[in-house]
């Protein structure tokens, strides 16, 4: 049922976004919240769908949330979350004013080491907005993962740049071959060794036999260890990042303290420790801000997104 409504949301956004782009950003943002609340009023069973999702999430995380309040806040965020960064085709000054940033000093210090930075994102709030801000600020950043769809014109132009460490070689495909996977890992490692920022997610589920199993949101699941292997392989610092959207339209961008992953973490029996550490910080924010958790509360475990097996295997190989 949720998947059907995701399609409906996509169609609705295609109709209204051209108009919303003409309005002041915070007004457009407020209207998207109104649209989410209207879903609960006019769509049969939609209120129950949200309340059931929040109830189950609260049980798994042992949180006694006000189900009614959280489900309505979650609904207000739905269209905002689905819009990603498509309302941010505005001037640099206008976009900068929408972000409240903490921990940037740690990111800059890690980058100054010259070994590259793995910016460890997630599906809490909006990870696409993290990428948008990084590139607006002029960081030498690249996206490592499947190519995101339905993004701003600005981000599309950035992703089209194809220089020495071009973005195209870092987009992943589930149809990729073993050779493609090896080339992608080498491309990523070289970008890090050149002192760049590589943005990838810590909460990508994986069907690979080498994946690390961890309890997350009350469920035991298998997660990709690609980021751990890359950090151990290159010596790049890891900086976890989060982006929370508040009701006023301000985006709270948080960079945590950098840390390093030792070379020994590439062993299968060690990688899981780092995966679980990263997921624990995500869970902490879901507990505190459940209205930012659309992606998590409506995850379908049977349809889990996964890192291609050949990519995970390629990341295990020695880097030269």
Please check whether residues 21 and 66 belong to one and the same domain: yes
Last residue of a domain, one of 63, 83, 103: 83
Where a domain ends, among 83, 104, 120?
A: 83
Q: Same domain for 75 and 104?
A: no
Q: Count the domains in the chain.
A: 2
Residues 104 and 246 placed together within one structural domain of the fold: yes
Does residue 196 share a domain with residue 76?
no
Residues 67 and 126 in one domain: no
pLDDT tens-digit profile of 293-315?
988 988 753 344 445 444 554 55
Average pLDDT over residues 127-142: 96
Q: Are 230 and 116 in a shared domain?
A: yes
In a domain, 320, yes or no: no
The answer to pTM > 0.85 is yes
Per-residue confidence (pLDDT) for residue 317, from 0 to 100: 55
Q: Which domain holds residue 117?
A: 92-314
User: Within this chain, do residues 13 and 120 fall inside the same structural domain, yes or no?
Assistant: no
pLDDT digits over 58-75, tens only? 999 999 999 999 999 999
Q: Which tens digit of pLDDT belongs to each residue from 35-52? A: 999 988 888 888 999 999
**pLDDT at residue 182 above 90?**
no
Residue 163 resides in a domain? yes
Within this chain, do residues 77 and 97 fall inside the same structural domain, yes or no?
A: no
Residue 108: which CATH number?
Answer: 3.40.1130
User: Could you tell me if residue 62 is left (phi over 0), alpha (psi between -120 and 50 degrees) or otherwise beta?
Assistant: left
CA gap 180, 173 in Å, rounded: 9
Q: Rounded distance, CA 234 to CA 158, Å?
A: 25
Q: Are residues 52 and 77 in the same domain?
A: yes
Q: Do 149 and 280 reside in the same domain of the chain?
A: yes
Does a structural domain hold residue 319? Answer: no
- The pLDDT tens digits for 241-294 are 999 999 999 999 999 999 999 999 988 778 999 999 999 999 999 999 999 998
Residue 78 clears pLDDT 50, i.e. is over it: yes
- Mean pLDDT along residues 112-141: 96
What pLDDT is attached to residue 320? Answer: 47
Q: Nearest Cα to 63, choosing from 54, 50, 71? A: 54
Strand duo 251-255 + 99-102: pairing: parallel
Q: Kindly tell me if the per-residue pLDDT of 29 is higher than 50.
A: yes
In a domain, 105, yes or no: yes
Q: How far is CA 152 from the centre of its chain?
A: 16
pLDDT at residue 301 in the model: 37
Considering 54, 83, 112, which residue would you say is the last residue of a domain?
A: 83
């Amino acid at each position: 049922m949720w998947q059907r409504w995701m399609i409906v949301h996509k169609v609705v956004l295609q109709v209204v976004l051209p108009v919303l782009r003409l309005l002041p950003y915070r007004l457009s943002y407020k209207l998207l919240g109104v649209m989410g609340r209207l879903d609960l009023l006019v769509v049969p069973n939609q209120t129950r769908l949200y309340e059931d999702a929040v109830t189950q999430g609260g049980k798994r995380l042992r949180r006694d949330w006000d189900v009614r309040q959280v489900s309505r806040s979650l609904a207000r965020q739905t269209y905002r979350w689905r819009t990603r960064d498509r309302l941010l085709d505005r001037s640099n000054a206008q976009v900068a004013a929408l972000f409240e940033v903490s921990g940037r000093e740690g990111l800059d210090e890690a980058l100054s080491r010259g070994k590259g930075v793995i910016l460890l994102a997630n599906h809490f709030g909006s990870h696409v907005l993290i990428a948008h801000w990084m590139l607006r600020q002029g960081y030498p950043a690249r996206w490592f993962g499947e190519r995101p769809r339905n993004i701003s014109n600005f981000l599309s132009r950035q992703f089209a740049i194809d220089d020495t460490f071009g973005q195209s070689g870092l987009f992943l495909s589930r149809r990729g071959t073993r050779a493609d996977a090896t080339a992608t890992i080498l491309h990523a490692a070289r970008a890090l060794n050149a002192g760049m920022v590589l943005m990838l997610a810590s909460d990508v589920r994986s069907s690979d036999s080498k994946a690390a199993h961890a309890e997350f949101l009350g469920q035991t699941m298998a997660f990709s260890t690609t980021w751990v292997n890359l950090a151990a392989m290159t010596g790049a610092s890891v900086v976890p990042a989060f982006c929370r959207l508040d009701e006023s339209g301000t985006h709270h961008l948080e960079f945590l303290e950098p840390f390093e992953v030792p070379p020994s973490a590439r062993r299968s029996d060690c990688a899981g420790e780092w995966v679980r550490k990263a997921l624990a910080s995500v869970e902490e924010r879901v507990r505190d801000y459940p209205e930012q958790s659309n992606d998590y509360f409506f995850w379908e475990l049977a349809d889990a997104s996964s890192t291609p097996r050949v990519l995970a295997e390629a990341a295990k190989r020695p880097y030269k």
